């Protein structure tokens, strides 16, 4: 009798232990709060993940429009956690996507330096052509001179957009918010149109601008 009672207690104990193992762990209020935040952020994370294909990663220069959309999607996802003041935990997928985006920046920064040198070279070439036209014999009519200048400037504008300015604007937008040398590069990109205009006013300014680009290039190579 005593043995059967002991056996019964043993079976009951095993049943309780097995039942306890089957129960899901109790979630704390902070865990539930975090889950709700992740659910709210998930559409932004999913959007970035779907756009961040292997082609976009391997050919960033050809897909900067897409990278800008990805950047803003990740920013929107982070804003959810910031708004809810969740600071001691990070969404693993969000962290991975942000790192993949950050890994692309050095190559784009290097590409921007090449584009800046091209922009200065093309602007210098235009300035030289304009000076030649302006030194034409007095016999050339004002209309003829104006027409030649207009044609040159239009050609220059189209050439600059295709070669440099559109790509540089995209890189500028992608680099917004970055610190250190990237911030210095951003500042130059924002001031570029004014600096190119100054090249027309001061011939010697081209050398000064090249030195400024070279200084940023040297700092980028050290990072």
Q: What is the pLDDT confidence band of residue 137, given thresholds at 50, 70 and 90?
A: low
Asked whether residue 8 is domain-assigned, the answer is: no
How far from 133 is each of 90, 147, 152, 162, CA to CA, in Å? Answer: 62, 11, 10, 25
Asked whether residue 167 is domain-assigned, the answer is: yes
pLDDT tens string 63-76? 999 999 999 999 99
Question: How many structural domains does the chain have?
Answer: 2
Q: Residue 144's pLDDT is what?
A: 67
Asked whether residue 6 is domain-assigned, the answer is: no
User: Which residues 6+ apart lie within 8 Å of 165 measured at CB?
Assistant: 119, 192
Q: Residue 6's pLDDT is what?
A: 47
pLDDT tens string 88-99? 889 999 999 999
- State whether 191 and 112 are in the same domain: yes
Mean pLDDT of the chain: 87
Cβ–Cβ < 8 Å for 104, 153: no
* pLDDT > 90 in the chain, percent: 66
């Amino acid at each position: 009798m005593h043995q059967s009672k002991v056996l019964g207690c043993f079976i009951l104990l095993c049943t309780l232990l097995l039942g306890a193992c089957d129960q899901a762990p109790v979630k704390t209020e902070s865990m539930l709060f975090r889950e709700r935040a992740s659910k709210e952020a998930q559409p932004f994370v999913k959007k970035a993940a779907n756009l961040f294909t292997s082609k976009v990663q391997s050919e960033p220069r050809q897909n900067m429009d897409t990278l800008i959309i990805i950047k803003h999607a990740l920013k929107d996802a982070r804003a959810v956690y910031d708004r809810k003041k969740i600071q001691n935990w990070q969404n693993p997928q969000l962290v991975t996507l942000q790192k993949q985006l950050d890994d692309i920046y050095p190559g784009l920064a290097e590409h921007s330096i090449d584009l800046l040198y091209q922009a200065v070279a093309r602007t210098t070439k235009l300035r030289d052509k304009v000076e030649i036209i302006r030194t034409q014999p007095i016999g050339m009519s004002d209309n003829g001179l104006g027409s030649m200048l207009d044609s040159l400037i239009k050609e220059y504008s189209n050439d600059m957009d295709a070669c440099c300015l559109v790509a540089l604007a995209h890189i500028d937008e992608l680099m917004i918010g970055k610190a250190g040398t990237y911030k210095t590069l951003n500042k130059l990109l924002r001031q570029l149109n004014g600096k190119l205009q100054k090249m027309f006013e001061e011939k010697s300014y081209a050398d000064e601008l090249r030195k400024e680009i070279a200084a940023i290039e040297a700092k980028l190579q050290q990072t």
